[in-house]
Amino acid sequence: MSETSVNPQDIVTGVKNRIRVYPDFPKKGILFYDIFPLFQTPSLLNDVVRLFVQRLQPSDTSNEQQAIDVVVGLDSRGFLFGPSLANHLDASFVPIRKKGKLPGEKYSVSYSLEYGVDALEIQADSIKSGQRVVIVDDLMATGGTMSAACKLVQQLGGIIKECQCVIELTGLKGVEKLPDGVPSYSIVQYEF
């Protein structure tokens, strides 16, 4: 898709101005970053997705091998960005869902997150071996969710080109949990 490039710093500022922070939600001691106010500014939301796209653009746009085949979105807030990102990239969209929500043959991985433990699932035929994948979510905290998602994609033979989040809580060192060699990118960073 040929669009003019976006200035990352403008988007960082826009996102930071709109995110709301709630102490002690959903549990005491958790500082909760609410991304939903972003959706009240459609142009900013569009810029967020375009910034994700810009990161993935090959330097040589004629090289078809560089294209992303699949955007994987994580249940549930990753679904707010994934389909739009997939549309911009002309890629397919695949959901990774919390356990018990997807029908058919599935792969499953259990994981821990900042405030609980759960399992994630992907449909067995949703990614073909060798397909180039980007995984998107709203936020990375401990990295438990994203690292479980990486494991599922890799079990299906997907090649993860990047894990993308709007927010990263850098003090929780989530990126260190990702499988070796998997790149990650976040638009805004907070320590906790």
Closest CA to 74 of 156, 149, 182, 142: 149
Asked if omega into 76 is within 30° of 0 (cis), the reply is yes
Alpha-carbon span 134 to 73, nearest angstrom: 9
Q: Is 162 labeled as catalytic in the residue annotation?
A: no
Per CB under 6 A, the list member of 30, 67, 109, 159 interacting with ligand ADE is: 30
For residues 138 and 186, what is the distance between their CA atoms, to the nearest angstrom? 9
Rounded to whole angstroms, the Cα distance separating 192 from 90 reads 35
Q: Does 114 bind ligand ADE (CB under 6 A)?
A: yes
Burial 28-37 (b: 16+ CB within 10 A, else e): eeeeebebee
Q: Answer for the pair 84, 106: CB distance below 8 angstroms, yes or no.
A: no
- The correct pick among 91, 140, 150, 166 for binding ligand PRP (CB under 6 A) is 140
Measured from each CB, the residue nearest to ligand ADE is: 141
Segment near ligand ADE (CB under 6 A); pick from 6-14, 30-38, 128-136, 178-186: 30-38
- In the set 114, 121, 132, 168, the catalytic residue is 114
| CA atoms of 136 and 93, how far apart (whole Å) | 10
Residue 33 in contact with ligand ADE, rule: CB under 6 A = yes
Q: Count residues binding ligand PRP (CB under 6 A).
A: 17
For position 174 contacting ligand PRP by CB under 6 A, the verdict is yes
Length reported for the chain: 192
Smaller CB separation from ligand PRP, 66 or 185? 185
Q: Residue 109's beta-bridge partner residues? A: 120
The window from 25-33, 39-47, 81-89, 153-161 that contacts ligand ADE (CB under 6 A) reads 25-33
Residue 93 makes contact with ligand ADE by CB under 6 A: no
Q: Is 113 in the site for ligand PRP (CB under 6 A)?
A: yes
Give the separation between CA 127 and CA 171, rounded to whole angstroms.
Answer: 32
Residue 20 known to be catalytic: no
Residues that bind ligand ADE (CB under 6 A): 30-33, 113-114, 139, 141
Residues that bind ligand PRP (CB under 6 A): 74-77, 113-114, 137-146, 174
- Which residues does the annotation mark as catalytic? 77, 114
